[in-house]
Structure 1
Amino acid sequence: MTRTPGGPSTGAAAGTPAHTTAAGLHPSAVEHEPAGAAGGAAGRAGIAKPGAVFDRDAAWDALVGFATDRGPGPRLGVVSGGLRQGKTHLLRALTDETGGFLFCADDAVEAESLRRLGDLLARRTGSVEAGRLRDWTEAVDALLALAGQEPVPVVLDEFPRLVRQSPSLPAVLHAAFRRHADGPHGGAAPGRARLLLSGSDRPVMRRLFCGPSALRELVTLDVAVGPFGYREAARFWGLDDARLALRVHAVVGGTPAYRHAFVADRVPAGPDDFDAWVCGTVLDPRTPLFHEAPRLVHEAADSGNRGLCHSVLAAVALGAGTPGGVADRVGAPLGEVSHALALLRDWALLHGEPDVLRPPLTRLRIPEPLLAFEHAVVRPHRALLDGAPGRAEEVWAQARPVFESTVAPARFAEVCRAWVRDHAAPDTFGAPAGRVGHGSLAGPGEPGAEVVVRGEGAGGRPGPLLSVGLARWGEIVDVHHLERLHRLVGLLDERGEDVARVVPALYGSAGFGPAVRTSEAQGNVVLVGPDRLYAGG
């Protein structure tokens, strides 16, 4: 299947396969739309994006194009992404605006799901007979029959739950699509149902739609719904202060559900309110946010794996960046740890990426900031907090040094890398960025650099080295940082790396000293602080 990358204003043309990456939405956004949110953008076919849908123009455009595609026969689309990202809200908005049909699956047995679906179909069609579904063959035929010659979007939300109840469902769908493509009733023209299958169970969605499978060949739209980027997250939370936005992002990241349903819309009033906000939300057992991170692990791992998975996440959150480093910190054999690493990566709770300077080395990171905050800051004190909600201030006084020394610096470095990938001006490093990540040197005592940029390579070879950068949280970046950066570039030169095009870069959350400002004015270094991260290129 051909996939076209999505962007802020791109999407699939009607009838054309597409892949769109979009951040999440939230069911309460109608009542809690933040200031500055863009609502009402017109999608394809003149269907405006509702004001309740924050951002996500590319996802809306692609979904509307799919839902209104007038090509013959049924079409199949996929919407995937983790929990709390707003897939259901997005799809409900789509079906509301287009007159479509949505069924949200629950954990149930097959008979109950068919009964619930039948009840909805009976209300939709006004026919009691339409609601009497004996099996999924009848159910899928009834869903595809909802559309005649006018396209109608039909959504099965949390499709993996239905597959667990009825393992033959993917084969039933495939057979039904083949049947309906030629017309469901003798010589009648095939209906234009636009079936969207949505799911949060990443392993099941990957098995059904990312590998060789019968359903994959039918998919003409693939939309991934993920967290907001750090800039969008700041707008979503209504944060104008860049340094405060960085701190909040290091706790809750870009998952949209956390603002409304999980902290009852409590937002820091300003930089001086950050500590009180932490104590009143993520450290308060009376809020859903306090319980969310353990729940994410419990959804991914069974009881036999949870302990090791929590320990692995704690090791990464506290600075272990490689599988070997995690095994050493956990005190378990690498083979045993590797199983937990694979499970966490399968559920996207952990990412592993090749080191930019030493590709055989895998660098581990936790993509969900709340998981890192939980395992480095909350988990060591969870028993105390669970038993006494009033101890949050005491716990935060003990735990904040860990946040400032480990959690926030790691998240800041990730934001800096995201800035290079998504927001830096094209000429910042002399050429478009290909790979951006952490770069390690082989020598002892040389931790490497947090933001290393390579250009686009050819034939599977690494691209040219464009930039080497240090990211520093909570300290003024000055000339000694620049000198260290020059030493790193010199070492790379000695080890055979072509450094002729390297642009030194320093990223700092707390500001820059006069000496490096002078170097910047002379064109000798690129400086990136909070204001540039959130508003500059």
Structure 2
Amino acid sequence: MKKPSDVFDRDNEWAALTRFAGDEAPGASLGVISGRRRQGKSFLLEALCEVAGGFYFSAQEATDTESLASIGDALTRHLQPVVPFAPANWGQVLDVLLRMGSERNLPVVIDEFPYLARANPALPSIIQGAYAPRRPERVASRTRLLLCGSAMSFMGGLLSGNAPLRGRASLELPIQTLNYRQAAKFWGIDDPQLALLVHAVVGGTPAYRTEMIRYDAPRNIADFDDWVVRAILSPGSPMFLEARYLLAEEPDLRDSALYHSVLNAIATGNTGRGGIAGQVGRKTNELAHPLTVLEDAGLISREADAFRANRTDFRIAEPLLTFYHAIMRPFWPQLTLAADTARIWQRAAHRFASNVVGPHFERVCRDWALHFSSTPDSRNRLGDWPVRVSSGTVNDSANRTTHEVDVVAVGHADDGRPPLLGLGEAKWNETMGLGDLERLRRIRDLVAKGGRFDTSGTRLLCFSGIGFSEELQDRQRRGEVELITLAELYGR
């Protein structure tokens, strides 16, 4: 099944869906598709149904009775029976869906499945019963049923533990946000500096460019400030309230004030449990639940320190949330009144550089090290493909200090100690020089003394959004350091 031309990228996801839909093995099969809202899940699944002649149904927030009537109407329009289909229960619906695949492979999509399950909590168990391995209706069917939803905590639990559908699904496919390189192509931005600035604000969510701001992208660097004011900070823009809606859309995030406070703490640089607890005003052990809920919702991620096993940092996974808490939330009353929005943006310029772009640049550098550092356009900068990339903290007892390391790339340990492939420093708005190289050398020596990693092949990397001194460039020519520019980060 050829991917439609209007589906951007998503080649791996399309391949997984078409393999599932085209599977010729006998018996009906079940798949689960998840992902946060506005990532293009529905667009992708509708395209699959159009190409394969399948059935697509999108649920709405409604009572169980109304939902049954809605899917009955949809099946009536699709099948055009002599008598309209008016199901009395979900068992009847599932039997019809299974019979639809009696003669050929048929993809069937039930989108926004959490709405249906909230109205009828027994629905996963009903599907489990319909998909019993020896049930004749399932054995005789080639229906390829796909359950899709945006409530990440709910969808994550659909196939886990003792859930009714555990072991029934042959496909579990998350639809992720576009990575920073894909996002630049999607937005049509060729300038790496502009691409990173835009990504630091809106991330890689496709709908933010299409439905939300109707393809309004900054024309160049000079237009970036005006674009932020008109497309993000303006109360008339759909993007203005989007960060607040992201939490409202998750049913498990009931205490929105607490969750916003946790996100605000992370966005302002308090990434450890102690720092978050101190800013929120809660005890550390009281944060376990809200942090887990935010992680299950896909809004934050936890990152283990590369050198301290007992330390974990939390990062906001959606850049728009970081932008909201660092830039918009402090000025919210003024912004809602549209009181000199351009001046507010100018006032927040320093916070944008230090709290938003700087940390985001470090994250992009880690993503590059993990996914792109060993590709041909990066000349195998790390010498091998890393299995883990994170940040780290190294204690320097001789100098009574600690060193924060932005990029720590660790390779696979075939036997013995894992190889430390690379140590990296990332600076968005500074020209890097010999001092940065000396600091990385010092850190490498300290890690070597610890004995936990094999540092014999460790490469030192400097990432800069501005550039490098002549002396540092000379050290690269001598093979002492790897200098990574914005252009290389974007494969240019």
TM range (shorter): over 0.9
User: 1-side partners of 2:277 and 2:218: how far apart?
Assistant: 38
1:417 and 2:366 are equivalent in the alignment: yes
Partner of 1:464: 419
2:407 matches 1:446: no
Residue 85 of structure 1 aligns with which residue? 39
- Structure 1: gaps spanning 5 or more residues: 1-46
- Give distance in 2, aligned partners of 1:254 and 1:59: 16
TM-score (norm 1): 0.87
SS at match of 1:289: coil
**1:383 CA drift (Å):** 1.1
Residue 428 (1) aligns with residue 378 (2): no
Q: Distance in 1 between matches of 2:395 and 2:254?
A: 36
Asked if 2 retains the 8 angstrom alpha-carbon contact of 1:308 and 1:337, the reply is: no
Q: Which residue pairs with 1:125 in the alignment?
A: 79
Please say if residues 153 and 252 of structure 2, whose CA atoms lie closer than 8 Å, have aligned partners that are also in contact.
no
**Number of aligned residues:** 484
Structure 2 residue aligned with 1:364, among 314, 318, 332? 314
C-alpha distance in 2, partners of 1:479/1:442?
A: 22
1:301–1:332 CA distance, 2 compared to 1 (3 A): farther
Identify the residue that residue 41 of structure 1 maps to in structure 2: none
How big is the shift at 1:218?
1.6
Aligned residue number for residue 142 of structure 1: 96
Distance 1:82 1:60 in 2: 18
Q: Distance in 2 between matches of 1:295 and 1:273?
A: 27
Deviation sequence 1:204-223 (CA, Å, 0-9, x none): 11211133433121211121
Task: Tell me the secondary structure at the aligned position of residue 409 of structure 2.
Answer: strand
The residue type paired with residue 437 of structure 2 is L
Query: Please, which of 311, 318, 327 is the counterpart of residue 277 of structure 2?
Result: 327
Q: Which residue of 2 aligns with 1:8?
A: none
Which consecutive unaligned segments of at least 5 residues does structure 2 have?
Answer: none
Name the CA distance, whole Å, in 2 between partners of 1:245 and 1:412: 11
Deviation at 1:332, TM superposition (A): 2.4
The equivalent position to 1:501 in structure 2, one of 447, 450, 457, is 457
CA displacement, residues 323-373 of structure 1 (integer Å, 9 cap, x when unaligned): 111112233221233332122112111111211111221111001100100
Write the letter of the residue equivalent to 1:479. L
Distance 1:447 1:374, change over 3 A: farther
The question of 1:395 aligning with 2:349 is answered no
Amino acid across the alignment from 1:268:
P
C-alpha RMSD of the superposition = 1.8
Is the contact between residue 448 and residue 488 of structure 1 (CA under 8 Å) also seen in structure 2?
A: no
Distance in structure 2 (CA, Å) of the matches to 1:301 and 1:150: 38
User: Structure 1, residues 248-301: CA drift from partner, whole Å, max 9, x if none?
Assistant: 010001000100111121100001111001011111111111111011122236
Contact preservation (8 Å) 2:101, 2:143: yes
Aligned residue in 2 for 1:274 = 224
d(CA) in 1 for partners of 2:352, 2:420? 32
Q: Is the 8 A contact 1:434 1:463 kept in 2?
A: no
- Determine helix, strand or coil for the equivalent of 2:460: strand
What's the counterpart of residue 258 of structure 1? 208
- Asked if residue 492 in structure 1 is aligned to residue 452 in structure 2, the reply is no
Tell me: CA distance 1:447–1:278, structure 2 relative to 1, closer, same or farther (3 Å): farther
User: Does the C-alpha gap of structure 1 residues 301 and 97 become closer, same or farther in structure 2, counting only changes over 3 Å?
Assistant: closer
Say whether the 8 Å CA contact 1:263–1:287 is kept in structure 2.
Answer: yes
Instruction: Name which of 158, 166, 183 aligns with 2:112.
Output: 158
User: In structure 1, which of residues 335, 341, 354 is the aligned counterpart of residue 291 of structure 2?
Assistant: 341
Specify the SS of the correspondent of 1:500: coil
- Which residue does the alignment assign to 2:491? 535
User: Deviation at 1:182?
Assistant: 2.7
Residues 376-385 or 297-306, more deviating: 297-306
Structure 2 CA distance for aligned equivalents of residues 213 and 361 of structure 1: 32
- Per-residue CA shift, 1:488-517, capped at 9, x if unaligned? 222223333442221111111111111111
Match of 1:483 in 2: 438
TM-score, length-scaled by structure 2: 0.94
Asked whether the equivalents of residues 66 and 194 of structure 1 are also in contact (C-alpha less than 8 Å), the reply is yes
For 2:116 and 2:437, the matched residues in 1 are separated by 56
SS at match of 2:255: helix
CA drift at 1:73: 1.3
**Could you tell me which amino acid in structure 2 is paired with residue 414 of structure 1?**
R
State the match for 2:55 in structure 1.
Answer: 101
Distance in 1 (CA, whole Å) between partners of 2:251 and 2:114 is 16
Indicate whether 1:66 and 2:16 are aligned. Answer: no
